[in-house]
Structure 1
C-alpha cells in the first residue's frame, strides 16, 4: 500500500533508500469506516493526510447547520484543513470519509522534522500547496464568472473519479447550489 504514496512523492522529488525508509517510518496508517469524521471543526488539526484508498470530503458547517463542501479527496490525493494544520489552530473544517478509506497520516511535528532531515520535502509540499492554491483561486474565479451549469460541466470534466464516488447532494454543495437545481441542470443535459 505504501507504493502509492511513494509514487505521489516521486512526481516532484527523488528519494534515496534511507530517505524513503525514514519517510515511511513517520507515517501513521489507519483505516476508517464510511461516514467517519476524521477531523471535527474546533479540534486542533494535527495531521496532513494521504488517501491510499477511499473518498473523503472537507466541509464547512455554518451556524444554521448548512454544509458547504470545500474539497473532495480520492486515492492518491492529500487532504487537511491547511490553515489550521500549518498554524496548529482549531479546525474550521470537518473532514469525513464518504466510503471506507485507508489513510496515511503525517503529524505536524514529524513534517517539521522531515523538512530539517530531508529538505527536499519542503519542495514537495510547496508544490502540493501551490497547486492547491491555484485550484482554489480558479474555483473562486469560476464561482464569480460562470453559471452553475458551466461550473458543473467543468467539475465533471476535471474530476471524473470524484463524480463516481460522491452523491448529487455533495456535488451540489461543492458547486454552491441546491440538489434540486443540480437535478435541473442534469435533466437539461439529457435533452
Structure 2
C-alpha cells in the first residue's frame, strides 16, 4: 500500500469579518500570494461594507488574492469539515460579533463554522480582535476562547520597530501573526535585531 503524506502545512484559512482594519486581511492575502501556501478565504457581508468604507479595493480584487474563496453562507464548504486538513485559521480583522459567535459555538455562518472546526481539530486559530475599549463580556469571551486554544492577537503597533508609514505597522503586525504559524516572510523588524 502506498502512503501519501498530506501537506496540511500548506493550507491556511483566512477570515475577514466586519471590524475596522480590513486592510489586515487584504495584506495577509497579498503577503501569502507568492508563497506555496494555499489560502482559503471567507469574507462576511459586514466585511464587504467595511471594505468599501476603508479602502479603494473592490471585492473581486480581494477574492482574487486567495487560492479559493468560499461564500460565508456555504456551510458545506471544504473548510467546514475537520477532514479538510489545514494549518489553521486567521481572522483578520475579527469583529466582536464574530469572536462572540465562535466563543459560544454558534456555527450558522461559514466563518464561525470554520473557526469551530479549527478549534475542535486542535489546530491554530488566531483572532485579530479589533475593538476598544472592552467590557467584561468581551473579556469573558476572549478568556473562553483562550481556554479552548484560540490565540487572541489584537493588532497592536510595535513602535520599537520605528514605523515610518502605515504599511510598516500593518506588515509588522501581520509578520508577528505569521510567526504563530512558523511562516517567515522577512517583514518583521525584530527586537534586538534592530541595531545589528
The structure with higher relative contact order (CA 8 Å, sep 6+) is: 1
- Which structure shows the higher helix fraction? 1
TM-score, scaled to structure 1: 0.31
TM-score, scaled to structure 2: 0.30
- Which structure shows the higher strand fraction? 1
